[in-house]
Amino acid sequence: MSAPLVYLDYAASTPVDKRVVALMSALSVGADTFANASSVHAAGRRAQAIVREAARQLSKCLGTAPERLVWTSGATESNNLAIAGAAHYRATRRTGGKHLITMRTEHKSVTDVFRALEGRGFDVTWLAPGPDGRLATDTLRQALRDDTQLVSLMHVNNETGVIQDIAAIGALCRDAGVLFHVDAAQSLGKLPIELEYLPVDLMSVTAHKVYGPKGIGALYIADRPGCHVEPLLFGGGQQDRLRPGTLPVPLIAGFGAAAAIAELAMEADHAHAQRLSERLWHGIRDLPGVAMTALAELTYPGILSVNIEDVEGESLLLGLEPLCVATGSACNSRDQEPSSVLRALGLDDKRAQSTIRFSFGRATTNADIDLAVQRYRDTVVKLRNLAPERVA
């Protein structure tokens, strides 16, 4: 009989909160809640009321108005809509406005959009982070040009947990008249966000990173002159034609409920993650050659990325079973190439491939962490004993 799995990959996805499941189940079978929210009859109006309540809950967690949100299928679509939509809109309305800026440490749903835009005539500047994983405002200031239209950054990095100073970066963009997009998939419900005060124009969020269902996300679009996106999809007139299609009412309701729960639990969740991260690092930090990928004080504690010398990464990952962890982001875990994020931070290929990302959630226990410590230590010792050379 195989050992029970220990899930330490909350940065990839979270379990759906039982309260969210109960709400969605009730809506899915309800006699008066299955209707198309675009319909004008009574059942349609009830469905639309559920959507409005979810928008209220999510907007409260983000510190903005409900009407600033556009529902999408998740953060990938939100990122695509924000970046490609804003780039095309601005390029057609400002002469020569085809310069865009992002970082090499972004999620693939951001970097791949920028690469596609490069193929369509846009000029992209790819900035590297500093040694601490953060973007210095001076670096961004030097990259800005008269024809710059958009800057896109991740709030919390999905591989390292590094938190970008989006307030300072946004202020610089605002002064330059440049749109600022933030991928907040890893920070929604985990860090305080007040879009009423933050100089952020576009923000992508998703439900499944915050104990909500997969398949639903949202894009915040600020109410400012010049802040608009061209649609990627065409069809009905839903959501002001920015993202047409029949709204998935149970999924939207689940996202709203998950956001409301996260807002109330944010402080406790953060403290819990902090304790778990410290417990894990304390248990392995004396291993020769082990290091945190990023400084703890600059990261969200729910993500702990560690790397180690002279240990082969794939063997390490397999040796850690039954722990469910990642070698980088879930989107890249099947790719044997070293993470572009880790290489941008200066790790060589071997060190990058030895990197393990532990990520914690509400259901993670001290016993889970203690098992992780034991498995990590035992596996490192075993692999080094099999290797021809050992770390001194």
The one-digit pLDDT tens for each residue of the chain (392 residues) are 567 899 999 999 999 999 999 999 998 877 667 788 888 898 888 989 999 999 999 999 999 999 999 999 999 999 999 999 999 999 887 555 899 999 999 999 999 999 999 999 999 999 999 999 999 999 999 999 999 999 999 999 999 999 999 999 999 999 999 999 999 999 999 999 999 999 999 999 999 999 999 999 999 999 998 899 999 888 887 888 888 888 999 999 999 999 999 999 999 999 999 999 999 999 999 999 999 999 999 999 999 999 999 998 889 999 999 999 998 544 554 555 667 788 888 888 888 899 999 999 999 999 999 999 999 999 999 999 987 555 54
pLDDT of residue 329: 42
Residue of 71, 99, 63, 14 lying closest to 242 (CA atoms) = 71
> Which residue in the list 61, 173, 324, 331 is annotated as catalytic?
331
How many other C-beta atoms are found inside a 10 Å radius of the C-beta of residue 3?
9
Q: Of the CATH numbers 3.20.20.70, 3.90.1150.10, 2.40.30.60, 3.40.50.11540, which one belongs to the domain with range 6-13+266-386?
A: 3.90.1150.10
Give residue limits of the domains in the chain.
6-13+266-386, 18-261
pLDDT of residue 180: 98
Tens-place pLDDT, residues 56-68? 999 999 999 999 9
Q: Where in 140-260 does DSSP place strands (E)?
A: 148-154, 179-183, 202-206, 217-221
pLDDT of residue 34: 79
Check: CB of residue 160 under 8 Å from CB of residue 345. yes
Preceding omega of 322 cis (within 30 degrees of 0): yes
Task: Report the SS3 class of residue 306.
Answer: strand
pLDDT of residue 223: 95
Tens-place pLDDT, residues 174-184? 999 999 999 99
* Beta-bridge mates of residue 202: 181, 221
User: What class, spelled out in words, does domain 18-261 have in CATH?
Assistant: alpha beta
pLDDT of residue 77: 97
CA distance 162 to 157: 5
Residue of 236, 204, 203, 202 lying closest to 217 (CA atoms) = 204
CA distance 304 to 73: 28
N-to-C CA span, the chain:
38
CA 4 to chain centre: 28
Which strand (E) or helix (H) includes residue 81? helix 75-91
| Residue 173 designated active-site | no
> Do the domains spanning 6-13+266-386 and 18-261 agree at the CATH topology level?
no
